Structure 1
Amino acid sequence: MPDAPVTPVVRIQAEEFDLAAEAAALSRDRRDVGAVVTFSGICRDDAGTLAALELEHYPGMAEAEIMRIARQAAERWPLTGLTAIHRHGRIAPGENIVLVVAASAHRQAAFEAASFLMDFLKTRAPFWKKEHRRDGTEGGWVEARDADDHAASRWASGDQPAEIKS
């Protein structure tokens, strides 16, 4: 009988996170981990006009939705660990926004689980982003992107949990 899925770690916080420490925590003192895959999303400023992004979330609901998605990843792939951290509040260009760390005995499972979780964080997690510009004006709320929905749609398949099917 296969091992039970791991219990993911999900945190929503205003504080910065330490990517290396979070990745190390999933493999420390373990001999069954063959791969640790990390994804960190960083606030960018393509146009050179952004002072900060303000990320708002619905407390309780955001954690529950991320945990729901993370549990689906843990059920779908043979993981030894899974962590998702999403920041909220005011985040300047160059600062971290989100971190996904997936650990497994094999690299493919870790890559796919991290990609799956990120795709659904972008489309399903209840966060709202508002742009604050360097000139003191607000750029307004950032709209969802069709490309993010398209990326998430690649996971729709017959063997996928029903909650993810669109």
Structure 2
Amino acid sequence: MAEASKKAAVAWVSVGDGPAFALWCLPVDDALYVVSGPGEQAAPGLAHADEARVSLRGDHGGRIVTWAATVTRVDPGSEEWTTVAPQLAAKRLNAPGPATALAERWAAECTVNRLTPAGPPETPGDGSEAAAPRGSTAARPAKRPFRLHRVRGASR
């Protein structure tokens, strides 16, 4: 779990029974740091959550580990903020403006959360976390194929 977290650039994070969202993250020590809020990535419910579920992918693109996480908000101005916020701002792709201005905007408008493992990783069931297809009442009638020219029968 620690090895996968060290290499993580993107984590799938879900809060409660909600869907998992792909979030870019920064691994520091044994935790992942995530920024969410206006102008940043959407992470519904994460800003006020105490727990979340994190899935990480491997080099092949498939899930390699899933674990329960304790969610802790990083307060602007704290020692942890002054250490982590500049690192996050430097990693932010296509950032509008310099890293210092970005960190100041995060302090005013966004949330930085620390996700730390809360117990051992989950054992995978069937290996797939794909959701079952939703039911639908929609149906389309089968159409006859379009033919530009009349097709003559083989009996003639």
TM > 0.5 fold call? no
TM-score normalised by structure 1 residue count? 0.24
> Which structure has the higher relative contact order (CA within 8 Å, separation 6+)?
1
Of Structure 1 and Structure 2, which has the larger fraction of its residues in helix? 1
Q: Which has the higher strand share?
A: 1
Larger radius of gyration: 2
TM-score by length of 2: 0.25
